[in-house]
């Protein structure tokens, strides 16, 4: 591969910034990812009828402990795996609030794979967009870690709990 091609690929990846992304909150309001500048962000695809659904509890604990000016969590309900998130946004919001006391930002239900994949997940899973790596969302509760500069750092597989050393150490690490 020529140096020109490498520079072109790098510039293409850099053209797609995390901070250019937008989504819709679970309350139907537009959300600009540019508002997350300076924060580490954990993005999680969620589902209410999954064996991993109890991870909402640890996600909320993580948010209560670290959330604020330096860290946040964004949940994206998705119905891609065995139809484990069949509810409407209102039903999902009620479920999360009543059962897990969720206070971190939840978004409107999206698709995290296939032809209908939301642009946020295209950015998370395509090296050509994030400039770091390709990945595939394998199940509900896969967790993506974005640093305070909007760079994708890594992801944790669905089985990995939110309070795992991998995630906690990343949050506590000063400047990546």
For the chain, the structural domain boundaries read 3-172
Average pLDDT, the chain: 92
pLDDT, average across residues 24-30: 97
Examine the pLDDT at 175 and tell me if it is beyond 60.
Answer: no
CATH superfamily of 3-172: Glutaredoxin (3.40.30.10)
Distance of CA 27 to CAs 9, 49, 75, 78, 88, Å? 37, 21, 13, 16, 11
**55-66 helix and 165-172 helix, angle to the nearest 10 degrees:** 20
Which residues are catalytically annotated?
Answer: 50
Give the pLDDT of residue 87.
95
Examine the pLDDT at 9 and tell me if it is beyond 80.
Answer: no
pLDDT, average across residues 38-53: 97
Give residue-wise pLDDT tens across range 109-121: 999 999 999 999 9
Give the pLDDT of residue 4.
46
The helix or strand, by DSSP H or E, that contains position 53, with its residue range, turns out to be: none
Concatenate the DSSP letters of all residues of 121-172 into one string. HHHHH-HHHHSS------STT-EEEE-TTS-EEEEE-TTS-TTSHHHHHHHH
Which is higher by pLDDT, 4 or 108?
Answer: 108
Give the pLDDT of residue 26.
97
pLDDT, average across residues 56-85: 97
């Amino acid at each position: 591969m020529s140096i020109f091609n490498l520079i072109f690929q790098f510039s293409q990846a850099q053209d797609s910034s995390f901070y250019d992304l937008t989504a819709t909150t679970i309350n139907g309001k537009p959300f600009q990812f540019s508002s997350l500048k300076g924060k580490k962000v954990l993005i999680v695809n969620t589902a209410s009828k999954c064996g991993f659904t109890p991870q909402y509890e640890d996600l909320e604990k993580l948010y209560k402990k670290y959330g604020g000016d330096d860290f946040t969590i964004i949940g994206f309900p998705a119905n891609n795996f065995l139809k484990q998130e069949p509810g409407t946004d209102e039903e999902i919001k009620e479920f999360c609030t009543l059962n897990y006391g969720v206070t971190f930002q939840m978004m409107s239900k999206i698709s995290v794979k296939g032809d209908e994949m939301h642009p946020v997940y295209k950015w998370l899973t395509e090296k050509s967009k994030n400039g770091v790596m390709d990945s595939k969302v394998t199940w509900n509760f896969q967790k993506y870690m974005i640093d305070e500069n909007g760079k994708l750092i890594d992801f944790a597989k669905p089985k990995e709990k939110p309070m795992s050393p991998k995630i906690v150490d990343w949050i506590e690490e000063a400047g990546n």
